[in-house]
Structure 1
Amino acid sequence: MTEPRASRRPEIEDAEGPARKRKRRRRKRAPQSPSTPPESVSSAVSQPLSAGAANASAGVGKPGRKRRRNRGGRGPQGRPLTPAAPVQATKSTPAIAPVASGHNTHHAQGPRRSATVERFRSPGSEPWPDDLYAALDLGTNNCRLLIAQPTRPGQFRVVDAFSRIVRLGEGLGTHGRLSAEAMDRAVEALKVCAAKLAGRDIRRMRLIATEACRAAENGEEFLSRVLVETGLELEIINRETEARLAVSGCSSLVGREARSVVLFDIGGGSSEIAVISIGENRSSRLANHITHWTSLPVGVVTLSERHGGQHVTPEIFEAMTQEVEAMLARFDCPPLTDNTGRPPENFHLIGTSGTVTTLAGVHLDLPRYDRRRVDGLWLSDDEVSAMQAKLLSWDYAGRAGNPCIGPDRADLVLAGCAILEAIRRRWPSNRMRVADRGLREGLLTDMMADDGVWRRNRRRPSHDRER
């Protein structure tokens, strides 16, 4: 049996004579008999690969483009390949092999790939800026995925992204369990994520689940189903990790002049708050400056289910705000004010959630939501108050008709505003910065920093450079 092409390519040598090379090319161009179809890597496994994975396994490039040979036993990016035995086309050959995330091997292995695709990667090789990293965040309300490449220090370029409202935590506050309909919606979204991950060569990934899976009685059972149906193995992170990831994802939005910051992430089932104190010696990892943090067991989904989200009167809004204020009162944190009781000039809030990005979009009167204009926007205290009052004056139809809110968030946005109002009462600030980023960006930043891809004066060794 002819062994798969992927396992033969590293053995190609440059010492062949021209005549032998021409003879080989003629044999490749010669038509094969219909009775003996050509073998491929995909025939050696018991389950079909995706189109992207199959092409990578067989070494097939884009149509019309001349494929470059890998000289000297090197992979697609010039890296030395790990020698591996040929894959035998037998029924006992494993169809898929897990890809570890690199951060938590037990909890976040990620999608399973064919062994042939994995052979193109050198497990012990150094990371370089052309490597891809992936982060998936399955929350109470949304399922989000980012695939990115590191660029300048502390930054990265998004290669692919996915976001879908799944409302996994719908009814969780009432029944304590994830409903069948909510789990079905989440699984369908995760299948899309699995397909995107399978089509790319990811160096390292981390896949997390947050409050809905933490709080639900059947959270672990649901994640077992996700593994079976999608091949993705998600880890449930604790609240402290969630708070630190939110800070890591927004570190570039904290100005050099800031000395104290309160960063909050209003989620669907919980809200994380981190108090950050920055001295003269600022660490490259902003999470190292967290002095106090808390996770409130309330989010836009749970709060709106308790008080109603479609028809919200000023009295209902105040009741929601006071409920959150009572939770914050139990948070042991010193006040961040100057000697006069006013917020200091070098203090500000950072909000990362759909609530604050919605307020920013309404403030800018955008015809459709535009992340480039929203992310990093500064809002004064008066502007935030004006936007909250404006949303409260609209009925459900008015909120649903706004292009920056839409029907999917129309019953949730005022619950988020109530949580925001409670935070503003606890930590008065002259200004707030809007962050359209969060846990996914924190995951990517931490993985890239751990791998040292942004170290200064790093040079790729001569034996590991692209040819």
Structure 2
Amino acid sequence: MKRRRMKKIVDTPPDLQLSPGDKLAAIDIGSNSLRLVVAQVTPGPDYRVLDEERQSTRLARSVSSTGRLDEDSIEESLAALRRFKKIAAGFEVKTIRTIATCAVREAENGAEFCERALRDVELEIDVISSEQEAHLAFLSVARAFDITDRNVAVADIGGGSTEIILASAGHVEEIIATQLGAVRMTELYAPQNSLFQSAEDYARMTEEIDRELKKTVRKRPFVPQVMYGTGGTFTTLAAMQMAQKGEVGQPEWGYRITHADVSHMLDMLKKMNVKQRRGVAGLSADRADIIVAGLIIIDRIMARLDVNILHVHDRGIRDGLIISMIDPTDAARVSEEDSKREMEFFAKSCGVDMPHTLHVANLAVELYQQLAEPLGLAPADARLIYASAVLQDAGYLINYEKHHKHSYNLILNSQLPGFSRHELELIANVARYHRGSAPKKKHRNFTRLSSEDQVRVRALASILRLAGALDRSHSQHVQSVQAEKTPTQVKLLLASQGDSEVDLWAARSRAEFFEKVFDLEVVVCVGKPTSTSASAGAPTS
């Protein structure tokens, strides 16, 4: 299986170069606990773990009720960070990265906590978004399991939030961020000493989780064949399950659990108070009060996604962070040729008809380069229309009927090297409108763009539609196109070999979007190929 290169998910110093043998450390400040991993880079690039440490500080314990991190949790967390830093120093690590997630992200005094960590511990904290969390978790799963031929879900359950990733053939189709966390839900719906005072408490929590999932998990692009779970709730579930089945000592990684197993474990634990749960084999004392909330979240996600099989992953966002740190790829270091190669590999892995797609991409660039100056378009955007053309049919991976919409999601979440997040959003939108309706006010993907970018997308997409029509037959009969602008028209002279009747018909019938965007009539006619009529090819920087 080829390992696809990816852009950095979190920023790293531009001068940081890690080689095999170098040591590094990653710290994850979660809503329930802080975790440290010290690792050594190995060829691959890959790494081996040298040391790990965990400290439960319940940083999110009061965020839901007060909106703030409480002082005791802050002090415990700062003390843990001091210890973690000393442990990392003992290994003489070359670099240390610290990230914080939901609790610090949401708390009113989250920035103050980061300032204190910088001042008192001399650790700079990167507060990452839920989307970055999801990408790190997915990167970890994608490196640990072969998911290239499957439709899968990945769920990362934390103390304050849960991120759900839907991926097909190793490509992220959708990221769903929720406000469901084991600590958050316990704080809101469960008393301190016994999980539920009445059956109504359990029902209220379950109903709230279902409401959140109904709101966030709407139309699914597919039913996942399997779900992969990252985070302490999943590894604890695996440990309890193995203890019950006499399988203690088996690795948690990849452990298979059915939806029925989850339901049975939940039914047993919800009837116990905290003291009784602390006696359950495989359940750590510091997770006894929040485990039921975590299991309800798993149970309801599996029900919502109609997935019956769960595989536990014993790593997660820390693993994804380390991978991101040691992988030398980022947008600034990727050559144009490497970027093009990775883009084409992505398209091919999505089942795209590559001869057709690359031919359309070259025609699109040829058209764009001829029309950019007379239409007042930016010449540099030729690379965007080329990428949009190569990736426009990636959505075939999901299904044909709405493939342009699926292409948008796949491109947006692709993390393709050589493109900034902003550029990928533009490319995704151009691909989204290569067919189907024109951009509308109700299309959130379009209206979230700036007014200037909306103009760019409409221009690029309208030209891409014309280029796509010129190979409607998928036969590459249209060899090249010459474009000429007059005050009222754009004339396209096609140089073709073979029967181009279908392509000519398609170009005329699909010209309406272009005509509306530029207020110019499109006139298409066929000429004879000349020795100079060559495809423009991929734009060069």
TM-score normalised by length of structure 1: 0.63
Contiguous gaps of at least 5 residues in structure 1: 1-100, 110-122, 279-285, 338-342, 453-467
With a CA cutoff of 8 Å and minimum separation of 6, indicate the structure with the bigger relative contact order: 1
CA contact (8 A) 1:262 1:275 kept: yes
Map of 2:205 onto structure 1: 320
Secondary structure at the residue paired with 1:294?
strand
Secondary structure at the residue paired with 1:255?
coil
Is residue 272 of structure 2 the alignment partner of residue 394 of structure 1? yes
Map of 1:72 onto structure 2: none
- Give 1:445 deviation, angstroms: 1.1
CA contact (8 A) 2:152 2:226 kept: yes
Alignment of 1:30-109 (within 5 A): 104=11
Please give the per-residue CA displacement for 1:268-293, whole angstroms capped at 9, x wherever unaligned: 11111111111xxxxxxx5xx11111
Taking the aligned partners of 2:162 and 2:298, their CA distance within structure 1 comes to 10
CA contact (8 A) 1:399 1:406 kept: no
- Give 1:180 deviation, angstroms: 0.9
Is residue 213 of structure 2 the alignment partner of residue 306 of structure 1? no
Is residue 85 of structure 2 the alignment partner of residue 207 of structure 1? no
Map of 1:167 onto structure 2: 58
Match of 1:234 among 125, 129, 136: 125
Taking the aligned partners of 2:250 and 2:48, their CA distance within structure 1 comes to 14
Is residue 141 of structure 2 the alignment partner of residue 250 of structure 1? yes
CA contact (8 A) 2:101 2:128 kept: yes
The residue identity in structure 2 corresponding to 1:186 is S
Please give the per-residue CA displacement for 1:99-155, whole angstroms capped at 9, x wherever unaligned: xx99636xxx8xxxxxxxxxxxxx968532111122110011110011112336364
Please give the per-residue CA displacement for 1:181-224, whole angstroms capped at 9, x wherever unaligned: 11011011001111122223323432101111111111111111
CA RMSD of aligned residues (A): 2.8
Is residue 158 of structure 2 the alignment partner of residue 267 of structure 1? yes
CA contact (8 A) 1:178 1:216 kept: yes
Is residue 319 of structure 2 the alignment partner of residue 428 of structure 1? no
When structure 1 is superposed on structure 2, of 261-270 and 391-400 the one drifting more is: 391-400
Taking the aligned partners of 1:176 and 1:329, their CA distance within structure 2 comes to 25
- Give 1:319 deviation, angstroms: 2.1
Give the structure with the larger helix fraction.
2
- Give 1:328 deviation, angstroms: 1.7
Q: 1:202 to 1:369 in 2, by over 3 A?
A: farther
CA contact (8 A) 1:204 1:447 kept: no
Taking the aligned partners of 1:240 and 1:322, their CA distance within structure 2 comes to 25
Taking the aligned partners of 1:221 and 1:371, their CA distance within structure 2 comes to 43
The residue identity in structure 2 corresponding to 1:318 is A
Taking the aligned partners of 1:372 and 1:104, their CA distance within structure 2 comes to 36
Secondary structure at the residue paired with 2:54?
strand
CA contact (8 A) 1:368 1:403 kept: no
Is residue 288 of structure 2 the alignment partner of residue 410 of structure 1? yes
Q: 1:152 to 1:334 in 2, by over 3 A?
A: farther
- Give 1:411 deviation, angstroms: 1.0
Secondary structure at the residue paired with 1:275?
strand
CA contact (8 A) 1:321 1:421 kept: no
Q: 1:264 to 1:229 in 2, by over 3 A?
A: same
CA contact (8 A) 1:166 1:185 kept: yes
Q: 1:152 to 1:163 in 2, by over 3 A?
A: same
CA contact (8 A) 2:10 2:321 kept: no
When structure 1 is superposed on structure 2, of 160-169 and 364-373 the one drifting more is: 364-373
- Give 1:355 deviation, angstroms: 1.6
Map of 2:73 onto structure 1: 182
Taking the aligned partners of 2:285 and 2:17, their CA distance within structure 1 comes to 46
- Give 1:173 deviation, angstroms: 0.9
Q: 1:125 to 1:144 in 2, by over 3 A?
A: closer
- Give 1:167 deviation, angstroms: 0.6
The residue identity in structure 1 corresponding to 2:18 is P
The residue identity in structure 1 corresponding to 2:97 is R
Taking the aligned partners of 1:389 and 1:331, their CA distance within structure 2 comes to 26
Taking the aligned partners of 2:79 and 2:236, their CA distance within structure 1 comes to 26
Please give the per-residue CA displacement for 1:273-332, whole angstroms capped at 9, x wherever unaligned: 111111xxxxxxx5xx11111211231111111111532355433321221221122225
Taking the aligned partners of 1:269 and 1:232, their CA distance within structure 2 comes to 23
Secondary structure at the residue paired with 2:270?
helix
Map of 1:142 onto structure 2: 33
Map of 2:508 onto structure 1: none
Q: 1:326 to 1:124 in 2, by over 3 A?
A: closer
- Give 1:379 deviation, angstroms: 1.1
* Identical counterparts, % of pairs: 32
Taking the aligned partners of 1:414 and 1:253, their CA distance within structure 2 comes to 27
Map of 2:317 onto structure 1: 439
Q: 1:256 to 1:249 in 2, by over 3 A?
A: closer
Match of 2:240 among 352, 362, 372: 362
- Give 1:256 deviation, angstroms: 4.5
The residue identity in structure 2 corresponding to 1:359 is L
Q: 1:124 to 1:274 in 2, by over 3 A?
A: closer
The residue identity in structure 2 corresponding to 1:413 is I
Secondary structure at the residue paired with 1:373?
coil
